[in-house]
């Protein structure tokens, strides 16, 4: 593969004009910031349900259930607490998703509406930091669960593996 082909494959589309020939809205816009065209709007209620359902099976959710059990909750109070917590999260997600579902715009554009172009950078930065911590927490819990699983399978052989790294 030539260098030009690699660079062309890695280059992101910057304006709507490059994608489908329509004029863009200037230097503060790109394909990801413009409203989704009607032909690309293929989300239904099942996608939102599947997204929320996938969040319910994350490692942190399992940790919450086991923590509630450890402090003395019974199984049925843990189930009720899980439904109440998921219901509250659904309400927040419902109100937060208005821009995406009604106007077909993403979070950066929605933040620009209330704070302007430069003010929205603060909210985007905060969202980035929260995402980093969220993924770090999820990865940590998943690694701890993997450690427990491997200890259950291999016993002391898993914990007694010699460290041969310098």
**Mean pLDDT to the nearest integer, 40-49:** 77
**Mean pLDDT to the nearest integer, 73-97:** 86
Cα torsion at 108, 109, 112, 114 (round to 10°)? Answer: -110
Cα angle 65, 67, 68; round to 5: 65
Whether residue 9 is predicted with pLDDT greater than 70 in this model: the reply is: no
| Per-residue pLDDT tens over the stretch 103-144 | 778 888 888 888 888 998 899 899 999 999 989 988 898 888
Where do we find the tokens 């004009």? 17
With b for 16 or more beta-carbon neighbours within 10 A and e for fewer, the 91-126 pattern comes to eeeeeeeeeeeeebbeeebbbbeeeeeeebeebeee
Residue 45: CB atoms within 10 Å? 7
Euclidean distance between CA atoms 93 and 87, whole angstroms: 10
SS3 138: helix
Q: What is the reported pLDDT for 20?
A: 57
Q: What is the reported pLDDT for 66?
A: 83
Q: What is the reported pLDDT for 49?
A: 76
């Amino acid at each position: 593969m030539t260098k030009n082909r690699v660079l062309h494959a890695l280059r992101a589309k910057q304006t709507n004009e490059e994608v489908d020939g329509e004029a863009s809205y200037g230097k503060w816009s790109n394909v990801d910031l413009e409203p989704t065209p009607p032909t690309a709007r293929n989300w239904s209620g099942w996608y939102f349900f599947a997204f929320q359902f996938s969040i319910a099976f994350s490692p942190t959710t399992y940790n919450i259930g086991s923590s509630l059990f450890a402090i003395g909750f019974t199984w049925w109070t843990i189930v009720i607490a899980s439904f109440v917590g998921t219901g509250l999260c659904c309400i927040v997600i419902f109100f937060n998703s208005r821009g995406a579902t009604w106007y077909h715009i993403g979070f950066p554009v929605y933040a620009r509406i209330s704070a302007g172009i430069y003010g929205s950078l603060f909210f985007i930065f905060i969202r980035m930091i929260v995402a980093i911590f969220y993924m770090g927490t999820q990865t940590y819990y998943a690694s701890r669960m993997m450690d427990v699983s491997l200890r259950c399978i291999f016993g002391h052989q898993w914990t007694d593996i010699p460290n041969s790294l310098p």
